[in-house]
C-alpha cells in the first residue's frame, strides 16, 4: 500500500491476487488491508492537511506540483495503460489514449486552483466589511471501481488536490495496480507525504473508510445500490458525499439521421470498453420506420467485431473484467430471453476464446418495461426499442430511475436541441457518444448520482465557503443585540 509517502505491506500480512482477465491467471499481488491500515492512512492524510507542508502551500505552489505530475503521467502513459489492460482486460489502444489524455486534467486544475476567489459582499451595515473564502474541505476518501480506475480517480483527484485537499484512496480489489503506480508518480512529482494514500483490500475496508470520523468527504464511483449505502453510512458523521453512479442511457436515433454514422455511434456506446461503463448506451431507441434498417446495419457491423487479446491493435472487444461480472452478464442474457426478447446476435460465451469473453449481444423485440431495459447490466448487451414519434421517444428515454447520459441522432438542428433539453440526463450528446472532457461537468440526474466531476463546478465540490465579517468602527456594541 502507499501510506504517508511509503510503500508498505498490509498489517494483516494477507494478500490478494489480481487476475489478468485475458489470460485467466494472476499477474500481480497486492495487500489485503484491514481497518487498521485505513486508520493509518487517514491519520497520515489528516496530519498532512492540518499541519504538514501541504497545509502551508499556496495555490500557486500546488499548481506547480500538478503540472509536474501531468508531465510524468504523459511520459509514463504506456506503462500505466499496460497496467490497466492487465488488470481489467480493456483494450490497450483505448487505455493508451486515455492515459495520454489524463495529464490535461492536472494542467486544467493547476490553472484553476489559484482562481478560487471569494467575493466581497455589500453590507447592510456601514460598519461591517464582509467577504467570503473558499477553503479546502479536508480529507477525502475516494472509492473507485474496477472498470476505469485511473480515469475515475483522476476525475476526483485533480480537482481535489487543486483545492488543497488530501486523499485516501480505496481502489477495487480487482484493479489496484494502476492506482499504486500513480502513487509513485505523485511521490516523484514532489507531493509531500500523507497528501495521497492508497489502501487496498476487500470491500469491508471501504465501508470503514466511509464511516471514519476523520474523513470530511467521500467521492465514490460505482453501482447505484452501493452508492445509496455509502450515502447512508456517511450521513452518520454528516460527511459530504459526491456519487457518480449507474446508468441505463438511451441512444435515440430519429428517421432523418445518417444511419451509418448513428449505427457506428451505437456500437461505440455499448460495445466500447466491453459495455463496462456507467455511461454505456445500453438502450437503443429507433424510430419505427427505420427500425429494420438500423437493426440490419447494426447486426452486420457487430458480426465483424474482433474479440481477442486486449494488447493487440486489431482487437475491438476484450473480455469481461472478472468472474462475478461475467456471471452477472450471462444471467441478464437468460433474463432477457425469458422475458421474450429476441437475440438478434450473440448471446453466449464466445465459443473460440472461452474464458470471460461474451459475444457482443443485440436484443430486439424489447419494450421498456423489461428488466433488460431498466436494470444496469454493465456488459456488451444492447436492447433495441422502437418508438413512433418524438414525444414517445422522450417518454421512453426518461422512463428510467437513472439519468446519467443520453444521445440524439438527427440532422434536424431544431429537433436536436429540443430533444436534448427534454432528456433527463447529466450529459447529452448530439450525433456523438461517449465523449468526455476535463472542462465539461459530468454526473447524473435521479439515481445516477449526486454532484459533478470535471469542469469549473468540480473544484467547488472539494471546498467549503466561509463568510467573514469585519467590524470597522472599533466601537463597543450592545452584547445582547444581534448585528
- Mapped to the 3 state alphabet, what secondary structure does 103-126 carry? HHHHHHHHCCHHHCCCCEECCCCC
Mean pLDDT along residues 128-147:
98
CATH code at 250-430: 3.40.309.10
pLDDT in tens, 222-255: 999 999 999 999 999 999 999 999 999 999 999 9
Q: Say what the pLDDT of residue 482 is.
A: 79
Q: What is the pLDDT of residue 425?
A: 98
Listed in sequence order, the residues at least 6 apart from 140 whose beta carbon sits closer than 8 Å to its beta carbon are 156, 160, 165, 166, 167, 168, 215, 216, 217, 218, 219, 462
Map residue 270 onto helix, strand or coil. helix
Q: How far apart are CA 316 and CA 394, in angstroms?
A: 31
Of 469, 200, 249, 214, the C-alpha closest to 373 is 249
Q: Which of 83, 85, 165, 278 is catalytic?
A: 278
Considering the chain, what percentage of its residues have pLDDT values greater than 90?
98
> Out of 84, 173, 244, 461, which one is annotated catalytic?
244
Angle, in degrees to the nearest 10, between helices 291-302 and 259-271: 50
CATH number belonging to domain 2-245+444-468: 3.40.605.10
Q: Can you read off the three cell numbers belonging to residue 32?
A: 489485503
Say yes or no to pLDDT of 483 above 70: no
Q: What does DSSP assign to residue 462? A: T
CA distance 114 to 120: 17
Q: What is the pTM of this model?
A: 0.97
Q: Distance (Å, rounded) from C-alpha 105 to C-alpha 97?
A: 14
User: 83 catalytic, yes or no?
Assistant: no
Query: For the chain, what are the domain ranges?
Result: 2-245+444-468, 250-430
Q: Is 262 helix (H, G, I), strand (E, B) or coil?
A: helix
Measured over the CA atoms of residue 231, residue 235, residue 236 and residue 238, the dihedral's sign is: positive
Answer yes or no: 244 catalytic: yes
Where does the pLDDT of residue 259 fall: very low under 50, low under 70, confident under 90, or very high at 90 and above? very high
Q: In sequence order, what are the residues at sequence separation of 6 or more whose Cβ sits closer than 8 angstroms to the Cβ of residue 131? A: 118, 119, 120, 121, 467, 468, 470
Amino acid at each position: 500500500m502507499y501510506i504517508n509517502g511509503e510503500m508498505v505491506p498490509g498489517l494483516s500480512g494477507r494478500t490478494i491476487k489480481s487476475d489478468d482477465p485475458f489470460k485467466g491467471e494472476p499477474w500481480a499481488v497486492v495487500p489485503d488491508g484491514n481497518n487498521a491500515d485505513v486508520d493509518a492512512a487517514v491519520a497520515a492524510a489528516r496530519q498532512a492537511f492540518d499541519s504538514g507542508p501541504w497545509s502551508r502551500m499556496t495555490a500557486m505552489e500546488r499548481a506547480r506540483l500538478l503540472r509536474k505530475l501531468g508531465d510524468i503521467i504523459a511520459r509514463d502513459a504506456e506503462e500505466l495503460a499496460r497496467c490497466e489492460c492487465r488488470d481489467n482486460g480493456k483494450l490497450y489502444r483505448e487505455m493508451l489514449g486515455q492515459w495520454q489524455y489524463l495529464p490535461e486534467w492536472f494542467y486544467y486544475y493547476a490553472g484553476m486552483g489559484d482562481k478560487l476567489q471569494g467575493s466581497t459582499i455589500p453590507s447592510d451595515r456601514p460598519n461591517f466589511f464582509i467577504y467570503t473564502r473558499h477553503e479546502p474541505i479536508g480529507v477525502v476518501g475516494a472509492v473507485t471501481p474496477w472498470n476505469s480506475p485511473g480515469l475515475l480517480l483522476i476525475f476526483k483527484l485533480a480537482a481535489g488536490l487543486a483545492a488543497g485537499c488530501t486523499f485516501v484512496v480505496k481502489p477495487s480489489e480487482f484493479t489496484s495496480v494502476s492506482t499504486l503506480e500513480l502513487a509513485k508518480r505523485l511521490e516523484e512529482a514532489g507531493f509531500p507525504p500523507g497528501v495521497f494514500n492508497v489502501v487496498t483490500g476487500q470491500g469491508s475496508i471501504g465501508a470503514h473508510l466511509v464511516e471514519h470520523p476523520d474523513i470530511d468527504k467521500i467521492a465514490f464511483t460505482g453501482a447505484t445500490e452501493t452508492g445509496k449505502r455509502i450515502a447512508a453510512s456517511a450521513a452518520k458523521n454528516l460527511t459530504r458525499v459526491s456519487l457518480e453512479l449507474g446508468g441505463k442511457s438511451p441512444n435515440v436515433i430519429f428517421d432523418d439521421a445518417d444511419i451509418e454514422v448513428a449505427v457506428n455511434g451505437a456500437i461505440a456506446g455499448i460495445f466500447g470498453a466491453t459495455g463496462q461503463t456507467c455511461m454505456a448506451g445500453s438502450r437503443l431507441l429507433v424510430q419505427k420506420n427505420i427500425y429494420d434498417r438500423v437493426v440490419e446495419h447494426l447486426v452486420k457491423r457487430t458480426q465483424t467485431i474482433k474479440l481477442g487479446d486486449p494488447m493487440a491493435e486489431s482487437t475491438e472487444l476484450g473480455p469481461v473484467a472478472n468472474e462475478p461480472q461475467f456471471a452477472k452478464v450471462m444471467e441478464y442474457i437468460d433474463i432477457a430471453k425469458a422475458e421474450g426478447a429476441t437475440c438478434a446476435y450473440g448471446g453466449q460465451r464466445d465459443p473460440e476464446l472461452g474464458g470471460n469473453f461474451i459475444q457482443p449481444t443485440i436484443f430486439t423485440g424489447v419494450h421498456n418495461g423489461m428488466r433488460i431495459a431498466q436494470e444496469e447490466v454493465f456488459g456488451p448487451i444492447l436492447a433495441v426499442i422502437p418508438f413512433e414519434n418524438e414525444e414517445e421517444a422522450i417518454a421512453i428515454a426518461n422512463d428510467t430511475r437513472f439519468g446519467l447520459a443520453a444521445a440524439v441522432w438527427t440532422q434536424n438542428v431544431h429537433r436536436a436541441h429540443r430533444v436534448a433539453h427534454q432528456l433527463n440526463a447529466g450529459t447529452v450528446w448530439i450525433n456523438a457518444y461517449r465523449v468526455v472532457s476535463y472542462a465539461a461537468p459530468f454526473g447524473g440526474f435521479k439515481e445516477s448520482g449526486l454532484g459533478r466531476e470535471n469542469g469549473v463546478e468540480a473544484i467547488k465540490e472539494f471546498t467549503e465557503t466561509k463568510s467573514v465579517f469585519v467590524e470597522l468602527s472599533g466601537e463597543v456594541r450592545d452584547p445582547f443585540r444581534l448585528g
